Every structure is written in structure tokens, then in C-alpha cells.
A and B are shown apart, each in its own frame.
Chain A
Amino acid sequence: MPGNRTMKSRTAAVVLAFCATLAAGCSDSGGSSGTGGKVVLRYTWWGNPDRAARTEQAVSLFEKKHPGIQVQTSFAGYDAYKQKLATQAAGGDAPDVMQLDYRMIDQYASGGVLLDLGRRAALRTDDIDAGLLATGVVDGKQYAVPQGRGTETVVYDAKQWKAAGVTPPAKGWTWDEWADAMRALAKKSGKPGATDPGQSEDAFEVWLRGQGKALYTKDRGLGFTADDLARWWTFTDGLRREGAVSPAEQTTQLDGSVENTPLGRGKAVSDFNWDAPSSGYLALVPEGLTLAPMPSGADGTPGQYFKPSMFMGAAADTGHPDQAAQLIDFMLNDPEAAAVLGATRGIPVNESIRRDLTPDLKDFDKTVADFQSSLEGSLNAPPQAPPSGDNALQTTFQRDYDQVSFERMSPREAARNYVTEAKAELRS
């Protein structure tokens, strides 16, 4: 009976997850078995089609250099990837090599999902900045290696911005100046100036840091109060009511892919995003795509920071730890791979590759590199890696803001809700 199937598969999933953790896998290790004498590695990552094309190219280079290894890749948008990886990891079926976010490392490392890469000779890390490398360390072990450096940005359609006759964004502009620009854009172009940033925990973090505060305290508690969040949501909700940022119906469709953003759909002039993935807008906004620094606090305190944009890690129960390390090494340290990959995952972390690569960067890669060098030396230090509960809290943040933008709760009520949920999540 079809009705029973969901129930059964759900219980089956539970039991699979259960025995996988207790017995370290009822099935074979991570599903990686050889075909035709070749070692097969599964490599998963999130990103846009541009990144997909370049990754495939790099992977086939790797296969050419290592004829004994075959790499099966798969990718998805960030939200879908996050859910799928969590399910795979829980089922003891994590891919051999996986792309990880800053926010995933703590959870997966402490859950025993990740391989200690520090002990793999095939992976060279000498050329990586020590401070950046340390962001992949949990409890003294190198569970993940940063792959690129990224920072947040105001990505905008300069053509439309200019056509509206509004002063373009400049370094050091404040949140108030940003809000005024949004109002002016909406008035003159007839469409919202930006995606409503109220749903974005990342944008909120930048705003918070501009006031000298942080998302999390050193001891992994919440670094802000319900009042702080209520002020942020009152600010963004007000702009939404004025039509200066996107309406709730548009905002609620955000899922981490650029295609579903108002800017990508041609329904807004700008957006907040991380710099490297902004290349995805190029296909949708063919002309005039430009990057600008994030707004800063009223006294000029910058909220944005350089963050390891993403990491590579390997599954603790992979059947081929050495080959997995070889693949990671190739993606990080091989000059030919670097030439193909460019800045699609942020500016490379390998110092010598960065030096060699930067002058040769073209198109949007060059835009990202120039953007980052314009910020060099003017930003505050990054926060420590977020605690594991944060992974679920990003979604909670977005959902609670939905209640505000659909006018079902006041910013104050929703903020109080969020803080209660977050405290419970961080405790457990």
C-alpha cells in the first residue's frame, strides 16, 4: 500500500542510521567499490553551473594524472546539499570527498564523520596560511582544509543603478546610507533595490559586527539579545513595507541558489551574497554586474570579514583514505587544477598558487580578486567556527523572518521566538 511505504522507509532510514553509528556501518564502507580495477571516489559539493563546469574539467585532469582512480561527482544548491549530506552522514554513507562549510565542520568532526587529514602524507598543506588552515582544526585534528577565501559583498547591476541616477556604493558606506540608496533605487527604477536581507543570518552577522557584537560568544552561546535582533528585523521590515527591498513572496523563495534570488529573476537591482558564488549571477544579469563592500556600522566599524569560503574533507569510513587525500591535494595544490578552477571557490588558499594565479585571472575571477585586495588590511578578524547547532539555526532564522515579512508576527515577537529556539538548540 503506497501509504505505508513512507512509514516503512522512514523507519528503515532510522534503523539504518542507528546500526550505522553503532556498528560503524552495516553496509560496505561508503559505497566506494572498485569497478574494472579502478578505485572509485565519490566527490560532492554545492555550487552553481559555472562552478560545475570548471570542477568537472579539473576532475578529468585528475583522472588523467591518476589512471587508477575514477571520480564520481555530484552537486546541488546549498540548501539541498546541506540536507542531503546530513542524511548521508547520518546513514554512514558520507561521500569519500566532500565540500564543507565553516558551519558544518564542528558538527561533522565531533560526530566522527570526518577523516583526520593531518596524518595523510599525500595532502600537502605547507603553502596554506597557518591562520586559515587552523580554521579546519577541531580538538587538535585537521578535519578539513580550507579551499578558498571569501567575503560578503553587495552584488549589483551597475547599469540599472546608474540609470536610476543613485550614487553608487562606496567603501565605508553605512547601513543608513545603504537604506537610503535602496529607497532611491526603488523610487526611480520601479523595483526593489535589493533582496530583503532580513532572512539572512549572514547579513545580520555583518550588521551585528558593525556594532562590535557577534553571533556567538567564545563559549558557544548566543552573542546577541532579542533586542538586537528585533532592531534588525524592524529595520528590514520597514524597508520591505516601503517597497525598498523585495516583498515577502519573493524573499520566501530563497534557497541558496542565485537563480531564485530577486536579482537573478530580474526583480531587484542588488543583493547581498558571498563574492565567489556571485559569478552565478553573470548568466542572469549579463551586463554591469559589479561588487561593492558591505555597509559598515554608523562609526565606520566594518562588519564583513575574510572567511574560509569552503573546505574539503574526507569521510572517516572511506575505503580509500589515501586516494581521497590525493584528490583533495590536487584540487588545492595543483597549478593546472588552479588554472581551471580560477576563483570559482573564492581566492585560492595556497599562497604560491595565489601569487601565480592572480595576475592571470580573467573576467569575474579578476573582479573577485580585485574586490578582495581592495579590502585587504581593513577588515576585522573572522569569528571562530560557529557551534554545531548553528547549522539548523540558519533555517530557523529564515523561517522566523517569514513570520515577520508575511506580517504574522511583529519583529519583536519573532525575535523573542528565535532567541528561545536558538538557546534550546545550542544547549542540546
Chain B
Amino acid sequence: MTTTTDLPAGRARTRTATSKQPKRQREGAAWVFLSPWVLGAAVLTLLPMAVSLYLSFTDYDLFSAPHWVGLRNYTQMFTEDPRYWRSVGTTLTYVVIAVPLQLGLALVVALALKNMKRGKGFYRSAFYAPSLLGASMSVALVWRAIFNDGGTVDHLLGTGGWVNRPGWALLAVALLTVWQFGAPMVIFLAGLQQIPGELYEAAQVDGASRWRQFLSITVPMLSPVIFFNLVLQTIQAFQVFTPAFAVSAGKGGPADSTLFYTLYLYDRGFVASHMGYASAMAWVLLLVIGAVTAVLFRTSRSWVFYASEGDR
């Protein structure tokens, strides 16, 4: 934050040598220009977060005043609530299934598009469209209809409905996410185009196979982009809500098989009116996502390769 505010100010000093305004006045101007962002951050992000942190230590039914209970919400969550752990299990299963599938598909399609001479723009848009549409409620509802009994999948595969069977419902939700591989695909595509063609030419001269080229050139050169996509999609997967809500009609069913963490949080907060408990769940989720991201960053040192590092 400090770097972004200092930078323009520093530049202003060197460029406009005539500037004789005192430092405080210039700072004042900076604050004026920053104020919309600062206000937004304070009112829409920091204040709600502080309130939710406070609520997480209370018993709050949305209607009467919050009642301080200390750590009870947290202890109840970890020791007395089997559904809480079920929601954790569901979410982790989902992250482990959906994220690799989605990134894998995105990479494969990006590789296919990379060397395409004609129609690249069309396919790029066509594959990207689901990412724009997919987050919407209506697409999730269509998804539910497709995977319901009597739906398209039932007709084509004869497997019956997926969304009304506990063993299959989670997979139906995961497929909805995988289908929205467009955003990471576009980023992969951009990354692929940054890899210098000489590397491949040199490798071909040395007689390296396509697979060898992929493993030794594409993957290391693309690793910062893979890392970026991995972090982004993992964080998103932990917070998935809309598809699960729509596909299970807001209940996380059948038999709690799509009870995602966020869905259970919603259920506690807005259906059962235990807003304190829901707030506590939100904070645990925040900490877990923070921890997972930290772990990803730590492991990245051993496999992410930045071209600029070689110059140093």
C-alpha cells in the first residue's frame, strides 16, 4: 500500500522541479484522491470484517441484540458439530477434484489453441464464455435441470438423475466448475505465447520429443502462470457457493452430499438464524484459506521458475 502511494509522489518531485508545495500539502492531495478507495475499503470491507469478528464471539439470532458467549461458537464447531466436519470434508473433496481437473483442461485447451492459425479468436471466446456465464444462478439452475432425473444426461447416458443421488451430486457440481475453465485458459494462453520460440527450435535440433519439450521447456517456463492459476482457483474453490446452492436447491442435499462449507455457513446464518456461529465459520474459512495459500507459496519455491532469476 505504501509503495503505491509513494511512487507517484516521488515521480512528481523529480519531474516538476518547480513544485514548492510543502510535503504535507502534497500528502493531503494524495489522501483526497485516495479517499474513494479508503472509504470503500473501510466501510465495505474493514468495518464488516470487524463486526463479523465481534459477532463470531456472540450468540446472535439477527433479530435481538448479540449476546457475548466467548469462544463457545468455536468450541461447538470443532467438538460438537458433525455437520461442520461433513461440510469441511465435502469442500476439501471438491477442491481436490475440481481444481486439478479444471486447470488440466484449461492447459490442454490452451496448448491446442496456441498453434492454431485460423479461428483462434472464435475458439478462445467460445471456451471463455462459460466462465462469464457460469457464475450466474440461471446457468446453475439449467445445470440442475440437465442432471436431474428426466434431464438431458439421464436421456443420453441412462444413468438417472445425478443431482438427486448422494454419490453423484458433488460430481455434478464439480463438473459445473470444470466447465468454466475459460479464465485460467486465457491466462495459460498468454503465458504460452511468452515462451521464446528459439527454445523449442533448439530442442528440436537436439532431437527432443514433443513430450520432452513439454516437460523441459513448457512446464518450467509456464510455472509462474501455473502457480498463479493454482492459487486463484484454489481460493475460489474453497469459497464456492452459487453452484452448490442452486444444484441442491439451497439445502446441500441429497443427504448433505453437497453441503459445502459456505452453504452450511449460509444455512447456519440465514436459515437457522445463528449468525454468530456463521461468523465464526467465516473466520475459520478465512484463516484456512490464508494457511493454504501460504503453504502453496512456500512449496512454490521449489517448482516455480522465474526467468528473471537467471539474470541475477
Contact = CB atoms under 8 A, between A and B. Distances in A.
B247 to A, nearest CB: 12
Interface residues of B, number: 48
Interface stretch (A30-38, A107-115, A220-228, A269-277): A107-115
A112 B255 contact: no
Contacts of B279: 14
Interface string A393-419: 001001100110010100000000000
A252 B241 CA distance: 20
A7 B49 CA distance: 10
Interface stretch (B193-201, B270-278, B304-312): B270-278
A14 B286 CA distance: 16
A253 B256 contact: no
A428 B48 contact: no
A8 interface: yes
Contacts of B161: 249
A3 B235 contact: yes
B273 A86 contact: yes
Given A3-B235, A395-B251, A111 B164 contact: no
Contacts of B30: none
A14 B275 contact: yes
Interface string A1-23: 11100111011101101100110
A133 B164 CA distance: 41
B254 to A, nearest CB: 4
Interface string A102-132: 0000011011110000000000000000000
Contact of B271 (A11, A248, A392): A392
Contact of B48 (A14, A87, A113): A14
Interface in A236-264: 248-250, 252-253, 255
Nearest to B82: A417
B160 interface: yes
Contacts of B45: 8, 11
Interface string B49-81: 101100100010111110000000000000000
Contacts of A6: 239, 241-242, 262
A53 interface: no
Contacts of B160: 249
Contacts of B239: 3, 6-7
B170 interface: no
A399 B253 contact: yes
A79 B270 CA distance: 13
A83 interface: yes
Contact of B272 (A79, A112, A425): A425
A281 B216 CA distance: 65
B285 to A, nearest CB: 8
Contacts of B295: none
A262 to B, nearest CB: 11
Nearest to B169: A252
A300 to B, nearest CB: 36
Interface in B1-36: none
B228 to A, nearest CB: 12
Given A15-B51, A255-B249, A408-B166, A3 B274 contact: no
B270 A12 contact: no
Nearest to B64: A111
Contacts of A249: 149, 160-161, 164-165, 254
A280 to B, nearest CB: 18
A51 to B, nearest CB: 21
A364 B286 CA distance: 54
B282 interface: yes
Interface string B164-207: 11100000000000000000000000000000000000000000
A15 B135 CA distance: 24
Contacts of A250: 149, 164
A90 interface: yes
Given A406-B166, A428-B274, A252 B253 contact: yes
Given A22-B65, A403-B255, 14 more contacts: A8-B45, A10-B282, A17-B275, A18-B51, A87-B270, A89-B62, A90-B275, A249-B164, A250-B149, A252-B164, A252-B254, A395-B251, A402-B255, A428-B274
Interface of B: 44-45, 47-49, 51-52, 55, 59, 61-65, 135, 148-149, 160-161, 164-166, 232, 235-236, 239, 241-242, 249-251, 253-256, 262, 265, 269-275, 278-279, 282, 286
23 contacts: A1-B232, A3-B232, A8-B44, A8-B45, A10-B265, A10-B282, A12-B48, A14-B55, A14-B278, A83-B250, A89-B62, A90-B273, A90-B275, A107-B273, A113-B63, A249-B254, A252-B255, A395-B271, A399-B255, A402-B254, A403-B255, A406-B166, A406-B255
